[in-house]
Amino acid sequence: MSHEDERQARTRGPAFTAKSQLMSADDVRRALTRMAHEIVERNHDVNSISIVGLQTGGKDIASMLASLLSDVTAHVVTAGMLDVSFYRDDLSRNPIPTSSATHIDHDLTDRTVVLVDDVLYTGRTIRAALNALSDWGRPRAVQLAVLIDRGHRELPIRPDYVGKNLPTSLDEAIVATTEGVWIGTREPS
Amino acid sequence: MIDTIRGRSLLSLDDLSKEAIVEVLDTAESFVEVNRRSIKKVPALKGRVVASLFFEESTRTRLSFETAAKRLSADVLSLAVASSSVKKGESLRDTIATIDALGIDAVVLRHRSSGAALQVSRYVPHVRVINGGDGQHQHPTQGLLDAFTIRQVLSERHATTGLESGAELFAGLKVLIVGDIRHSRVARSDVAAYAALGAVVRLCAPGTLLPEDVATWPVTVVRDFDEALGWADVIGLLRLQSERGSGAFVASLDEFTFTHGLTVERARLLKPKALIMHPGPMNRGVEIDSRVVDSSQAIVERQVTNGVPIRMAALYLSVAGSGEGTSL
């Protein structure tokens, strides 16, 4: 296990117990391919798109989406990574998250930023991300791509590209990666 | 042993586990990136109040703590002790009570008395206390930033990023600490950090400048400075602390330089890749020759630069995870 993996393992919190698998790795790839096409359909100027994954769940998904966009458009699209730990509004309420790296190598002013995350839930991570993004310039537009939208929003935030809509109950937990999507529960450790 | 400083005061490195230290170093890594941005500020401590109380003079520590707090969006109350009621004889306890009455979340404290930070943490248990140096006892953020700087330089040599290389860089690392160890809180914090991370630490000093309880430290004391120079991967020099009476412990400054100063000639005995560190302020020409400070092996300026991310990490972990802050 690399050092970075260990860091991430520590952030994952209570152990996840899978109940059933909802999407296979192939399903995820097909969903992301469709989303890549939707992104191109909506934004004709591919050169102005910046893909930004949210640490840590959106990291691999953003990388895969960027590589699929490269295939679709024949342009090289790379994914930046954003860690929003320091922008969260629940720092005093929850155990503070372990921070990880932010890599955004260009000014986002006048770019169309597509934020990418694994699961859209309360919307608070996205709010933090919107705050954080403003420190990298003033994007022309910000769009949101998520692999799973599980509902239960607490803020007026809506995704632009969705892999799968998945109505859930509050006591269920979702794990969504490029390897597949599972529903289950988390036991407090 | 404490396994994390989340939501706790940072008083000493002696009781921190390796995990707790690595967590601060990893968090500081994220703040290095924040400090490279054009907007070097994150809202993590928005609405929190950090009081900076320096009863002893300081350049680096005070400036970097206050910079760190501001980059975390905390409000900073800075007490200029020299022009405060402390000069009229107000006690430490009353000064703390006054500041606490204004509503604070954390205190950064520097004081000439060993144990002052612990004392303050008992006066105001609801406030997080970050020890910015107490007498001859501890200077935890200095120990953390020294460990962080070593890790950073070594991981660059391994051509990886700091994130992907952890504490294993310290396993078996040979660190030599030289100079006025008796009076040095930095030495106590450095030894605690290096030992916890797995480094091998040797001390070298005139017998009068070794602490009386050195036998209980996780170190080996060596006599032959020149031989130790060839052994070390890292050498940490310490200032001769004339304000704590070091002068009475050596025959003369010249003699100290002659026996334990890092002169140009001695620096040649070091391994080509050995790192030279100094917590500052330096007495150029006493414990270290000016030309050695300016050599490529010296990483003194990096130590200063890393003061900000380390102190951001300490404040963030200690303060963000505690109490009722404002919620957006």
How many CB contacts within 8 angstroms connect chain A with chain B? 71
Strand residues in chain B grouped as ranges (E): 49-54, 75-79, 106-111, 128-134, 174-178, 200-204, 220-221, 234-237, 275-277
Give the pLDDT of residue B242: 75
Question: Any CB–CB contact under 8 A between B27 and chain A?
Answer: yes
The predicted pLDDT at position B322 comes to: 62
Over residues B114-120, the mean pLDDT reads 96
- Cβ of B23 and A98 within 8 Å? yes
The neighbouring-strand residues paired with B203 are B177, B221
My answer on whether B182 and B198 are in the same domain is yes
Nearest beta carbon to residue B320 from set A7, A83, A91: A91
**A90/B322 CB distance under 8 A:** no
Entry pTM: 0.88
Higher pLDDT, A97 or B58: B58
What residue ranges do the domains of chain A occupy? 24-168
Q: For residue range B307-325, what is the model confidence (pLDDT) as tens digits?
A: 999 999 999 999 987 654 4
- Nearest Cβ partner for A90 among B163, B164, B327: B327
Q: Are residues B148 and B295 in the same domain?
A: yes
Helix and strand element counts for chain B (H, E) = 11, 9
Q: Examine the domain organization and report whether B182 and B201 are in the same domain.
A: yes
Domain count for chain B, please give it.
2
Q: What are all long-range contacts of A48-51, with beta carbons under 8 Å and residues at least 24 apart?
A: A48/A110, A48/A111, A48/A112, A48/A140, A49/A77, A49/A111, A49/A112, A49/A113, A49/A114, A50/A80, A50/A104, A50/A106, A50/A108, A50/A111, A50/A112, A50/A113, A50/A114, A50/A139, A51/A77, A51/A78, A51/A79, A51/A80, A51/A114, A51/A116
Residue numbers of the domain that contains B51? 18-138+305-320
In a shared domain, residues B38 and B175: no
CATH number where B30 lies: 3.40.50.1370
Q: Are residues B238 and B206 in the same domain?
A: yes
Q: Is residue B158 part of a domain?
A: yes
Cβ pair A135:B166 closer than 8 A:
no
Is there a contact between B287 and B9 (Cβ–Cβ < 8 Å)? no
One domain for residues B193 and B276: yes
User: Higher-confidence residue: B203 or B245?
Assistant: B203
Same domain, residue pair B177 and B121: no
Residue B310 lies in a domain: yes
The three-point CA angle A101-A103-A108 to 5° equals 140
pLDDT value at position A5? Answer: 47
User: Would the CB atoms of A86 and B42 count as touching at under 8 Å?
Assistant: yes
Q: Which residues of B touch A135 (CB under 8 A)?
A: 37-39, 41-42
Q: What is the pLDDT along chain A (189 residues), one digit of tens a residue?
A: 344 444 444 445 578 899 999 999 999 999 999 999 999 999 988 899 999 999 889 999 999 999 999 999 988 888 999 999 889 877 766 666 667 788 888 889 999 999 999 999 999 999 999 999 988 889 999 999 999 999 999 999 999 999 999 999 999 999 999 999 999 998 765
DSSP state of B134: E
User: What's the complex ipTM?
Assistant: 0.77
List pLDDT tens digits, range B172-225: 999 999 999 999 999 999 999 999 999 999 999 999 999 999 999 999 999 999
Same domain (yes/no): B118, B212: no
Q: Do A87 and B42 touch (CB under 8 A)?
A: yes
- Fold of the domain built from segment(s) A24-168: Rossmann fold (3.40.50)
B328 occurs within a structural domain: no
Reported confidence tier of residue B167, pLDDT bands at 50, 70, 90: low
Q: Do residues B203 and B264 lie in contact, with contact meaning Cβ atoms separated by under 8 Å?
A: no
Chain-chain contact of A91 with B23 (C-beta, under 8 angstroms): no
Task: Look at A173-177, B155-159, B245-249 and tell me which has the smallest mean pLDDT.
Answer: B245-249
Note whether B44 contacts A87, CB cutoff 8 Å: yes
CA distance A34 to chain B (A): 33
B166 interfacial to chain A (CB closer than 8 Å): yes
- Looking at the fold, whether B32 and B115 belong to one and the same domain comes out as yes
Predicted local distance difference test score (pLDDT) of residue B136: 95
Judge: A136–B37 Cβ closer than 8 Å, yes or no: yes
From the list B27, B29, B325, the residue facing A91 with the nearest CB is: B325
Q: State which amino acid sits at residue A142.
A: V
